[in-house]
Structures are given as C-alpha cells and as structure tokens.
Chain A
C-alpha cells in the first residue's frame, strides 16, 4: 500500500474525528427497568404507609414479595432478551449497568438483611438513595432528564423527613414514582 501524503493523512484524521464525534454515547438504554422498579418500589412504600395508618389490612403485605419477584423476573427476562439483540453496547453503558445493578442490589440486600436496623420507612429511604445515585450517575454523563429526576428523588427524601409521620411514606412513594418511574417513561418516549 502507498504511504500517505499530508492530504490523505488529513482526510483519514477527519474521518476518525467524525466517527468518534458520532459515537452514540447514550447511557440509559432501558427505560422499562426504571418504570417497573419505580412503580414497584413506590407500591411497596405506599402500601407500608397505608398498612401503618390502618387504612389497609396487614394481610396485604403478602403482596410485597410477589411485587419484588415480578420486578426481578421482568428484569432478568428483559435483560436476556435485549442482550441477544443489542446491536451496540458501549463501554460506558456496560459500566452504567454495573453501577445500576450494584447499587440496587446492595440496597436490596441491606433492606432484607438489615430489617431490624432499618425499620419503618428507613428501608424505603435506602431505596430512594439508591435510585437517586443511579439517576444522578446517568445525569453526570449529560442526561438532563436524569438530573432532574435524581434531584426530584432527593427532594422527596428531604420532604419526607420533614413531613408528618402519617404522610412521609406517600411523599417517598411520590418521589419514586415521579423521579424513577417517570424518568423511565420519559426515556421510553424519547426512544420512540
């Protein structure tokens, strides 16, 4: 092959720069996970508040493990489906999914293993913190909707702290629903 002259070198470099600039660095590629887990976590939190307030019988708490199992089953099935057909998976996306599963997995384990320490709404607050970390991590990489959603979850956490005990769970649940599930819904709409 002929050695390159300056013009050809410039042509090659321009092509490389164009390709790198067009590299699609879309971090969040799974709005459906956010919708499912956002609704699931909000349901658990609101139900706990309703049971605590005596508005719903204690027997309804049997639905909690079912909701968690449904969310987990959906995540496993969906991730297996998308792994097979995903045409591109950026290194950044892989790192993001590691952060997502580590954060939520740890929050889940802490909630289950530390239920004597994190009583009442403390478990829900841990979920809110985990969700805020995931959203703000996405936001750090330039996703404005994730930044807003992350702030929304943090605001709901602070508001719940100062809210009356009878409504703190609803405030946390609203943050999960609007922030986490809302972000997922907005990602799905943007993808369409």
Chain B
C-alpha cells in the first residue's frame, strides 16, 4: 500500500481533488473539516511526493493557494484504492 495515502486526511485530499481542476486551500479545509495547520502539513507531503501541484496567487488582493492532482497522484490513488478493496475482500 501507498504509505503516503495511509493517512486519512491525505487520502481525503486526493479524493477531493480527483474530480476537479483546481481546488482552493480554504475549500479543502472546509470539505475535510480540519485545521489550516494540519491540512498545510499534509499538503506539503503530497506536494513533495509529486502527487499534488500547488499554485500560489492573489485574488482580490488576498493570497490564494490552489491545488490540483498530478498524473502521478491520480495513479497512486487508483492503486491505493484497489489495494484497500483487495484487503477488504480478503478479510470477508
């Protein structure tokens, strides 16, 4: 299994990004019901691993961080979910 996606928050981030082009940091905090600091730390790990791409800009003079899933992140997510399903199937 993918070590990075064993964390529920990181798995949730990748799932949130799956159907979207870019998602704002504030939107992810709200969707995943977590804190800014916690999410920031998890996102850094995903960005460092090349699973997620980060874009920093300004909107209406306010900083805006947006994230999107990379091809590598998409593949890792698909593999990880397949392995979760296999584990569940083997256990039942």
**Chain A residues near B (Cβ < 8 Å):** 1-6, 9-13, 15-16, 19-20, 23, 25, 84-85, 87-94
Q: Can you name the residue of chain B whose Cβ is closest to the Cβ of A19? A: B15
Residue-wise interface mask of B (68-86) relative to A, using a CB-CB cutoff of 8 A (1 in contact, 0 not): 0000000000000100110
Query: A12-B84, A87-B26 provided; 7 other pairs, C-beta below 8 A?
Result: A13-B81, A16-B11, A19-B16, A23-B19, A88-B22, A89-B20, A89-B21
Give B residues with C-beta under 8 Å from A. 1, 3, 6-8, 11-12, 15-16, 18-24, 26-27, 31, 59-60, 81, 84-85, 87-88, 90-92
Instruction: Contact check, B15 vs A13: say whether CB atoms are below 8 A apart.
Output: no
Q: Chain B: which residue is nearest A22 at the CB level?
A: B31
Within the complex, the shortest CB–CB distance from B79 to chain A, in Å, comes to 13
Residue in contact with B23 in the complex, picked from A1, A25, A87, CB distance below 8 Å: A87
Closest CB in chain B relative to A90 CB, distance in Å: 5
User: A4-B1, A4-B6, A84-B60 are known contacts. Are A90 and B19 too (CB-CB below 8 A)?
Assistant: yes
A9 and B80 CA atoms in complex are apart in Å by 10
Contacts of B21 in A (CB 8 A): 89-91, 93-94
Contact B87 A6 (CB under 8 A): yes
CA distance A92 to B20 in the complex (A): 8
Distance of A96 Cα from B44 Cα, bound (Å) = 31
B-side contacts of A90, CB under 8 Å:
19-21
Which B residues touch A20, using CB under 8 A? 15, 18-19
